[in-house]
Amino acid sequence: MPQRKSKCKACGQLIFIGSSPDNRQRRLMTEAQAEAAQRQWSAHYRPAPGHLQRLGQQAMKGDKNALLELMRHLDNPQELRPWAMLLANLQLQDLRRKGLRSAQLSAGRVGPRLCPACQALDGQIISTQASALAVVPADCTCSRPGMLTPQGWIKYPDGREGIDR
């Protein structure tokens, strides 16, 4: 197997290494075969017709796992925004149900990828009665809206930490 771009000595074409969903064994192939295999893999992992609609219906009923799976399949920020707001509402409801009055917004490790509007909210303490607009601002330009999550554990500016019940 070639370690880097190599040309076939017989025909002069570039040699590619790949597999397809029906034959997972890696093999040598031409560029056209490699592109066809890539299309097969894309079609193999694309959600089945109607699957996203079922996930959307389950998410509207409050199923957080269905909502997260649906969001994983969406790429367009405009399509993702309403689902991110629904997720924020579900997270705030969970915190209210646990008896918390306040939550702190946190981006975790994705903090550097936040848009300026979301960076201003990172670390802010909000009420659990707040709407999803407090978590996903209207002027959010992030590539994936909803990267801020409300956390029950609060780190106050004066150095104290804890939960607000």
Q: What pTM did the predictor assign?
A: 0.73
Within-domain flag for 138: yes
* 1 found inside a domain: no
72 lies in the same domain as 35: no
Which neighbouring-strand residues pair with 127? 102
- Do 154 and 137 share a structural domain? yes
Q: What whole-number percentage of the chain has pLDDT above 70?
A: 98
Tell me which DSSP letter residue 111 carries. G
Mean pLDDT on 70-85: 92
Residue where the block lists tokens 């649906």: 70
Q: 71 and 20: one domain? A: no
Split into its structural domains, the chain has a count of 2
Q: How confident is the model at residue 4 (pLDDT cuts 50, 70, 90)?
A: low
Q: How many CA atoms lie within 13 A of 35 on its CB side?
A: 4
Does one domain contain both 113 and 148? yes
| Residue 97 lies in domain | 51-162
**Same structural domain, 28 and 77:** no
Contact between 77 and 144 under an 8 Å Cβ cutoff? The reply is yes
Is residue 2 over pLDDT 60?
no
Same domain, 38 and 58: no
Same domain as 66, residue 133: yes
Identify whether 23 is part of a domain: yes
| Same domain flag for 67 and 41 | no
